[in-house]
Copies of this chain bind each other. A is one copy, B any other.
Amino acid sequence: MKIEDIQSFVPPVRTLMGPGPSDVHPRVLQAMARPTIGHLDPAFVDMMDELKVLLQYAFQTQNALTLPVSAPGSAGMETCFVNLVEPGDKVVVCQNGVFGGRMKENVERCGGIPVMVEDEWGTAVDANKLEEALKANPDTKIVAFVHAETSTGVQSDAKTLCEIARRYDCLTIVDTVTSLAGTPVKVDEWQIDAVYSGSQKCLSCTPGLSPVSFSERAVEKIKGRKSKVQSWFLDLNLVIGYWGSGVKRTYHHTAPINALYGLHEALIMLKEEGLENAWARHEKNHQTFSAGIEAMGLSIRVKETDRLPPLNAINVPEGVDEAEVRKRLLSEYNLEIGAGLGSLAGRIWRIGLMGYASNMKNVWYCLGAMKTILSDMGVAIN
């Protein structure tokens, strides 16, 4: 490639129904294009305070330590682990998909000892298995699990899992990347200690930010650490000086100003709609879409009670080249859906109905496009 030939990038206009990013509302895109101001500008600091209040609403929490990490969801995950896990800490990790495996990686890289509770990919975390693991490992400090497995379209019972963890005096770390604003997440009611999400799923913002929230118990553990947090960038003891309350903010790193404009606008839109209404909209569109998929003769991977409204896992029919279907959806319909990951690669499609993208237009567009392409490929569908 010659540098002389490189031109301004004008992206195609897609419909984003993969596992994220999801479609971004024009209001959010416009907000990102507003003039950049300084990260210590009083006007910006006021906006940061508003962002905290809006995130507390989205997470349904009063936690003071609620903020967007200046990097994507995986950095939000890492923020939880590097701050809460000290070398030698035993951490029970419930794995039922890709992201539980990433949690294990995080525990190990922090010098913690992971104890795995494994469930089949495509099923929810089994609360009984968690309880057994905690009985067998009474020195466990933390329980970590994924509320909404983006790799499988499964939702686990976060409330019950947190109750069990608390009974064994453990802190909880919960991944809500694909659930926040798309299905109930109640941080205070469920007494979650550390939670992280992503901006690019049901919040309908662009990717690059990771909202997090920490309970008082979690903050105590972080402040009382014997060892320094291994990451300088993600050390909440330092980040708190910038995102903490009061007029005086201490420079830590330069915040991604315009990305935060976008998240602020996305959260304003969530507030305008109302969180319960957003949950209900995701549920309704998911129901319509699932019914359409099943009416077509296709099947859904996950049993009905465990399904995650923002993300549908559809079984690829026998003999169908799943990549070809995705390729044609993209090239003929400008429609992006996702492939399976890990042990489900080649076996499922992941079709998102997240945030702004969770609407009836997308539901019917995707059903129609899939029906047309599958028929054209000779697959017997209704």
Contact = CB atoms under 8 A, between A and B. Distances in A.
Contact of A33 (B9, B33, B38): B33
A69 B108 CA distance: 23
Contacts of A18: 38
A206 interface: yes
A269 to B, nearest CB: 9
Q: Which of the listed residues A3, A13, A20, A31 has the most CB atoms from chain B within 10 Å of its own CB?
A: A3
A312 B31 CA distance: 32
A54 B262 CA distance: 26
Interface stretch (A45-53, A152-160, A287-295, A360-368): A45-53
Interface string A253-269: 11111110110110010
Nearest to A44: B11
A9 B82 CA distance: 33
B265 A50 contact: no
Interface string A218-253: 000000000011111100000000000000000111
B258 A74 contact: no
B230 A230 contact: yes
Query: Which of A7, A27, A38, A341 has the most B CB atoms < 10 Å from its CB?
Result: A38
A148 to B, nearest CB: 15
A330 B109 contact: no
A380 B293 CA distance: 78
Interface string A36-62: 111101111001011001100100000
Name the prevailing secondary structure of the A interface residues. Answer: loop
A30 B31 contact: no
Contacts of A7: 268
Interface in A301-334: 330
A261 B105 CA distance: 31
27 contacts: A1-B49, A3-B53, A8-B265, A11-B35, A12-B35, A14-B37, A14-B38, A16-B36, A20-B254, A21-B36, A30-B33, A36-B200, A41-B330, A72-B233, A75-B75, A82-B231, A109-B228, A109-B229, A109-B230, A109-B231, A110-B230, A206-B258, A207-B256, A208-B257, A208-B258, A258-B259, A258-B262
Given A8-B27, A198-B254, A206-B257, 9 more contacts: A3-B271, A9-B264, A10-B34, A11-B36, A72-B255, A74-B252, A78-B232, A207-B256, A208-B208
Interface of A: 1, 3, 6-14, 16, 18, 20-21, 23-24, 27, 29-39, 41-44, 47, 49-50, 53-54, 57, 70-75, 78, 82, 102, 105-106, 108-110, 198, 200, 206-208, 228-233, 251-259, 261-262, 264-265, 268, 271, 330, 336, 341
